Amino acid sequence: MTARPIAVVGASAAGLAAAEALRRGGWRGPLTLIGDEPHLPYDRPPLSKQLLHGAWEPDRLLLRTEEQLAPLGLDLRLGTRATGLDVATRTLTLDGGERLGCAGVIIATGVTARTLPGADRIAGVHTLRTLDEALALRSRLANGGTPGSGGVAAGGGGSSRLPADLVLLAIGSRPAVEWLADPALDTTDGLRCDEYCAAAPGIYAAGDVARWDHPVHGRPLRFEHRMNATEQGMAAARNLLAELSTTDPAVGTAQDAPAPERRPFAPVPYFWSDQYDLKLQAYGLTAGADRVEATVLDRAERRVLALYGRDGHAVGVLAAGLPPRRIRALRAVIATPLPWEEARERIGAATAAG
Ligand SMILES: Cc1cc2nc3c(=O)[nH]c(=O)nc-3n(C[C@H](O)[C@H](O)[C@H](O)COP(=O)(O)OP(=O)(O)OC[C@H]3O[C@@H](n4cnc5c(N)ncnc54)[C@H](O)[C@@H]3O)c2cc1C
């Protein structure tokens, strides 16, 4: 009997990290990676940076080439959309009607850009989430933004009208969970998971789509950060293998090695972004804070630090313009929520020490 596959749905940062970790972790059975975009897994942050201003072409965004993917022995389904999942039998439905019974499933479908009603019917209105969207926007910008039809007019309902050559809708995102209709899954603001990234037995989630119980912060969190996608992809894969190791012979372990145990996923949240020539970096949680204290460290160098608090504890720190060495020192301070005053002192010492 052929072993059932593990399927990873979503062929981007989290899905790729999960697929690679499954092989590293000893999964010898079939491994299916399903992605609805036609492209090999690519990196999204440069879409709004190097790709958009023309410094990079799409091939530089690839996370792996075909040659680098080959050793994984993937059943790679690009341009294929998962349309349903039966949780009890771990059976995926793909567009075209194929049904795929799985040993385990990792869901890494990310988020999609929010849009406005009717926007898809107006030329010159763009969103920026995928490579194709970024290329379309770049091409229109290169043509001076003019579609030749006189541009776009925004406004209405008694408000003023603002004619524009081009409109970029940057109004947030929506977790890609609409295809998960099984009532065994909670899909309110992402796919709800426990601290092991498990949404149900044998079904795990990772990356932008996953809302999981963060064991340190004690509440469900969902991050749309590039580094979290990779780390959580690996964690979900490890925990799925640990779950399957007692039941599925396709999970290989080194001789005499004890069966791996599932581990809670407890990262120190981190993100970076470049706003023109200014680097922003943050550790911990900034959303949901009830207190923020900003300090200008160096006006000429545009170095600013902001400490975020919640319920009397410091939970996050955001820095603009700080060199990496000084940023890393902040990580240790914010790894677990500290009483506000203690965190302030330690942050002050960490930034002065640099
Ligand atoms: C323009 C831009 C700039 C960014 N800049 C930064 C930055 O500076 N710093 C930072 O930390 N993060 C940044 N991010 C966020 C970062 O890119 C994401 O956190 C990361 O891509 C999440 O990876 P993921 O694999 O979870 O999801 P995604 O990258 O969203 O990938 C999900 C994939 O699943 C596919 N999919 C969805 N539904 C289905 C389905 N039903 N069947 C099959 N496939 C499906 C999607 O098409 C997509 O290919 C940026 C994102 C964008 C768009």
pLDDT, averaged across the chain:
92
Q: Give the distance (Å) from ligand 1 centre to CA of residue 246.
A: 33
- Cα 79 from Cα 102, distance rounded (Å): 20
Q: Helices then strands (H, E): number in the chain?
A: 6, 24
Element (H, E) at 239: helix 226-244
- Cα 337 from Cα 185, distance rounded (Å): 30
What confidence category does residue 68 fall into, taking pLDDT thresholds of 50, 70 and 90?
Answer: very high
Question: Is any ligand 1 atom within 6 A of the Cβ of residue 81?
Answer: yes
Residue 146's pLDDT is 59
- Cα 133 from Cα 97, distance rounded (Å): 27
pLDDT at residue 8 is higher than 70:
yes
pLDDT at residue 3 is higher than 90:
no
Q: What angle do CA 314, 279, 346 make, to 5 degrees?
A: 30
Question: Is any ligand 1 atom within 6 A of the Cβ of residue 77?
Answer: no
- Cα 211 from Cα 299, distance rounded (Å): 38
Token code pair at residue 15: 């899905």
- Cα 124 from Cα 146, distance rounded (Å): 8
Instruction: Output the CA torsion sign for 175, 62, 136, 162.
Output: positive
Residue whose CA is at the smallest distance from ligand 1 atom 6: 45
> Tokens 């869901």 belong to which residue?
107
Residue 204, classed as helix, strand or coil, is strand
- Cα 132 from Cα 37, distance rounded (Å): 9
Residue whose CA is at the smallest distance from ligand 1 atom 27: 110
pLDDT at residue 157 is higher than 70:
no
Token code pair at residue 53: 């201003």
Question: Is any ligand 1 atom within 6 A of the Cβ of residue 303?
Answer: no
The more confident residue out of 222 and 152 is 222
Residue 292's pLDDT is 97
DSSP 8-class letter at 185: S
Q: Give the distance (Å) from ligand 1 centre to CA of residue 60.
A: 17
What confidence category does residue 155 fall into, taking pLDDT thresholds of 50, 70 and 90?
Answer: low
pLDDT at residue 2 is higher than 90:
no
Contact present, 281 and 325 (Cβ < 8 Å): no
CB under 8 Å to 82, separation ≥6 — which residues?
A: 9, 34, 36, 92, 93, 94, 95, 109, 179
Task: State pLDDT tens for residues 263-316.
Answer: 999 999 998 888 888 889 999 999 989 999 999 988 998 999 999 999 999 999
pLDDT at residue 75 is higher than 70:
yes
Task: State pLDDT tens for residues 84-125.
Answer: 999 999 999 999 999 999 999 999 999 999 999 999 899 899
Token code pair at residue 175: 């977790």
pLDDT at residue 48 is higher than 80:
yes
Contact present, 236 and 96 (Cβ < 8 Å): no
Question: Is any ligand 1 atom within 6 A of the Cβ of residue 233?
Answer: no
Distance of CA 171 to the CA centre of its chain: 17
Residue 144's pLDDT is 78
- Cα 197 from Cα 235, distance rounded (Å): 8
pLDDT at residue 319 is higher than 60:
yes
Question: Is any ligand 1 atom within 6 A of the Cβ of residue 61?
Answer: no
The more confident residue out of 242 and 277 is 242
List residues bridging with 199 in a β-sheet.
Answer: none
Contact present, 350 and 333 (Cβ < 8 Å): yes
What confidence category does residue 151 fall into, taking pLDDT thresholds of 50, 70 and 90?
Answer: low
Residue 150's pLDDT is 52
Q: Which domains does the chain have, with CATH numbers?
A: 6-43+59-112+173-244 (3.50.50.60), 115-168 (no CATH), 270-353 (3.30.390.30)
pLDDT at residue 70 is higher than 80:
yes
Question: Is any ligand 1 atom within 6 A of the Cβ of residue 46?
Answer: no
Instruction: Output the CA torsion sign for 281, 286, 287, 292.
Output: negative
Contact present, 140 and 151 (Cβ < 8 Å): no
The more confident residue out of 156 and 240 is 240
Residue 143's pLDDT is 86
Range with the poorest average pLDDT among 116-130, 147-161, 182-196, 288-302: 147-161
What confidence category does residue 349 fall into, taking pLDDT thresholds of 50, 70 and 90?
Answer: confident
The more confident residue out of 37 and 157 is 37
